[in-house]
Structure 1
Amino acid sequence: MSISSWKWLFLINVPLGIIALILAIRFLPANIAHDTKPRFDLPSAVMNALTFGLLITALSGFAQGQSLTLIGAELLVLVVVGFFFVRRQLSLPVPLLPIDLLRIPLFSLSIGTSICSFCAQMLAMVSLPFYLQTVLGRSEVETGLLLTPWPLATMVMAPLAGYLIERLHAGLLGALGMVIMAAGLFALVMLPASPSDLNIIWPMILCGAGFGLFQSPNNHTIITSAPRERSGGAS
């Protein structure tokens, strides 16, 4: 942001995406051919797009101060479309949105904890740049560098957690990861009025390490708790 416009944050992903596509075509194995292929469920796709599209539009409109009548109408249509969407998914053998898997207690619990962890991470990642720049007066470059320890710690801890899954219970690893992440978030909340870089960096490392230690075993639990033939939908 200090050397170019915000648009480059998105444009930089275009060449990276092209490289990833080329590597995937080159190295990933081909899909196994089946005698019968399930047909594309167009009604479910349309209702899915409408449901989540209306939700995002309504939330965005509320944040921008749009008419409450318009927002209420969007939410009403959202509820109606969402009802028929969920009803259709429950009646299909291979649904677009595998809601039926939520009947499995371990699966639904793992999904719930995953949602909570991502919400905690996103709330921190959205608010921290404003805090670092507006309150503490850090530059764009300094802000980016201070945020970097979180994803770096996640990158280091996630494969280690995947290795430990074979030796320790996934629930134990996930719980330990959540405790570490919560400790890091608490440390960020308790920052002094004028924190040093080190005061900010070590809680960020705790948050990233805890998130990485939690996600790998939790994702493993999500996949293994679903029936084998539904592993694609579970993921």
Structure 2
Amino acid sequence: MNTEKSCKQTTNIDNRIPALLVATLASFFTPFMASAVNIALPAIGSEFAADAIILSWIPTAYLLASAVFAVPFGRIADIHGMKKIFTYGIIIFTSATFLSGVAPSVISLIAFRVLQGIGSAMIFVTGLAIITSVYPPKERGKAIGINIAAVYTGLSMGPVLGGILTHYLGWRSIFYVIIPLGLLVIALTSLKVKGEWAECKGENFDYLGSIIYGIAIIMLMYGFSIVPETSGIILLISGIIGILAFAMFELRVKNPVFEVRLFKNITFGFSSAAALINYSATFAVTYLLSLYLQYIKGFDALSAGLILVAQPAVMAITAPVAGRLSDKFSPGAIASIGMAITAASLYFLTFLDSNTGLEFIIVVLLILGFGLGLFSSPNTNAIMGSVQKRFYGIASATVSTMRLIGQMLSMGIALLIFSIVIGNVQILPSSYPALLVSIKIVFTICAVLCFIGIFASLARK
């Protein structure tokens, strides 16, 4: 695809507040669902007698589906309209949430989580692009900061409300409370958000590229889950080859589903790499600490949720401030400081043991939240500000893809270590020592990844 070719544009009606409102509400309940489900995993595992590996697939299936469909839907939104895809995404997400709440088995729950992940992909790739389209560059960092603050607020409320709901009403109630909010966003989008954004209307969709990408991502993630088996290693290598093949194919196709040439932009390329590394290193933290607090330390779901809220609460406060700062100062410099603070906090978590004090855990979570808040808004602003308007959809899809693949890889690392150290067994008191060893190993890997990410963040100039 010729990057200089101009795409057909639709009228951009200035309705910033309604657009920010619906995108921010959607950005709240999608991460809320993710963090709330994490806190409920022990209760889900108890009801269905699920082992550690199958239990891990409840959050992983959601991330995998989101990662597979984010890139195709980013392109579809550019062709057919961001508002349209955003609305359909909310409808699918809300429907899948209801089905997850009534799931009769762990396998059906995982299947409905896949459907929920598809809906979330449609939301992720359009919400940020809509905000970027309606806000001028001098106000964009602030708007992005508000949007990301909503993400972190969802993460904050997830462990707390998820713990309360699981404790008093059971884990299924976590899904039920989201349904009214989903219906509200559907109504607001239809009634209040005017206009449409389809910057590449009339262009062809790259079906073959989408299939290659989807297969490669599935092989990569499933391979992670069954390593160290030989078939897992083969799938892992095949997935990496598939990603490389996808990149080469996209360079040759006329209308690619993903504009690989954008990575020649130094700011775009290194900012995207920094986002990938950051999410790969940090997403599994809530999952790991949820298991640690409930199994190793003996807290119930409610108490564990109240402890875990420390991290995303600080993130929610820090993100808007960091977003405003990135409108005035170098986004890359601010994000690099955030990455360094995040790496330090992950290093501290490698010292966890059965006797670790609660004060230590809370302080480290506060530091981690501050680091992530400093990183995310400026880094996203750097990515979106480094491309022309006609590439906003692609850039938004890239932000979402880096986040989703990073989150997927983070859970993949946890799955890999759990498979090697614990094995395919239900988590019982006899396996607590192995669980603790697994958690410490994963945190060590994450700390090293984040340290490497500091250099990727600094390299963007």
Query: Is the TM-score greater than 0.5?
Result: yes
Equivalent residue, structure 1, for 2:342: 181
Q: 1:60 Cα deviation (Å)?
A: 2.7
Equivalent residue, structure 2, for 1:226: 387
Larger Rg: 1
Query: TM-score, with normalisation over the residues of structure 1?
Result: 0.82
Give the Cα–Cα distance (whole angstroms) in 2 for the partners of residues 173 and 14 of structure 1. Answer: 37
Matched, 1:52 2:217: yes
Deviations 1:45-96 (A, max 9, x none): 2222222122223223337xxx634x46645764665454322211245522
Amino acid at match of 1:136: K
Amino acid at match of 2:192: F
Give the Cα–Cα distance (whole angstroms) in 2 for the partners of residues 118 and 80 of structure 1. Answer: 22
In 1, are the aligned partners of 2:220 and 2:237 still within 8 Å (CA)?
Answer: no
Give the Cα–Cα distance (whole angstroms) in 1 for the partners of residues 341 and 242 of structure 2. Answer: 40
Deviations 1:195-230 (A, max 9, x none): 443332222121112101111111111112233422
In 2, are the aligned partners of 1:147 and 1:204 still within 8 Å (CA)?
Answer: yes
Q: How does 1:1-235 map to 2 (within 5 A)?
A: 1-32=166-197, 36-62=201-227, 68-69=230-231, 71=232, 74-75=235-236, 78=239, 81-92=242-253, 94-190=255-351, 194-235=355-396
Question: Relative to 1, partners in 2 of residues 1:164 and 1:56: Cα closer, same or farther, differing over 3 Å?
Answer: same
Give the Cα–Cα distance (whole angstroms) in 2 for the partners of residues 162 and 61 of structure 1. Answer: 40
In 2, are the aligned partners of 1:51 and 1:82 still within 8 Å (CA)?
Answer: yes
Question: Relative to 1, partners in 2 of residues 1:184 and 1:75: Cα closer, same or farther, differing over 3 Å?
Answer: closer
Structure 1 vs Structure 2 CA RMSD: 2.8
Give the Cα–Cα distance (whole angstroms) in 1 for the partners of residues 245 and 199 of structure 2. Answer: 30
**Which is richer in helix?**
2
In 2, are the aligned partners of 1:184 and 1:207 still within 8 Å (CA)?
Answer: yes
In 2, are the aligned partners of 1:174 and 1:215 still within 8 Å (CA)?
Answer: yes
User: Higher mean Cα deviation, 79-88 or 48-57?
Assistant: 79-88
In 2, are the aligned partners of 1:162 and 1:217 still within 8 Å (CA)?
Answer: yes
Give the Cα–Cα distance (whole angstroms) in 2 for the partners of residues 81 and 178 of structure 1. Answer: 29
Give the Cα–Cα distance (whole angstroms) in 2 for the partners of residues 180 and 73 of structure 1. Answer: 36
Give the Cα–Cα distance (whole angstroms) in 2 for the partners of residues 85 and 35 of structure 1. Answer: 21
Give the Cα–Cα distance (whole angstroms) in 1 for the partners of residues 201 and 191 of structure 2. Answer: 26
Amino acid at match of 1:144: G
Give the Cα–Cα distance (whole angstroms) in 2 for the partners of residues 34 and 113 of structure 1. Answer: 27
Give the Cα–Cα distance (whole angstroms) in 1 for the partners of residues 250 and 395 of structure 2. Answer: 14
Greater relative CO (CA pairs within 8 A, separation 6+) = 2
Q: 1:145 Cα deviation (Å)?
A: 0.8
Deviations 1:20-42 (A, max 9, x none): 23222333332157795212222
Give the Cα–Cα distance (whole angstroms) in 2 for the partners of residues 199 and 84 of structure 1. Answer: 46
Give the Cα–Cα distance (whole angstroms) in 2 for the partners of residues 126 and 214 of structure 1. Answer: 21
User: Higher mean Cα deviation, 203-212 or 163-172?
Assistant: 163-172
Q: Secondary structure at the match of 2:292?
A: helix
Q: 1:157 Cα deviation (Å)?
A: 0.9
In 2, are the aligned partners of 1:149 and 1:201 still within 8 Å (CA)?
Answer: yes
User: Higher mean Cα deviation, 193-202 or 206-215?
Assistant: 193-202
Amino acid at match of 1:62: V
In 1, are the aligned partners of 2:315 and 2:370 still within 8 Å (CA)?
Answer: yes
Equivalent residue, structure 1, for 2:454: none
Give the Cα–Cα distance (whole angstroms) in 2 for the partners of residues 179 and 118 of structure 1. Answer: 14
Percent sequence identity is 25
Deviations 1:140-186 (A, max 9, x none): 11111111111111111111111111222212211222233233333
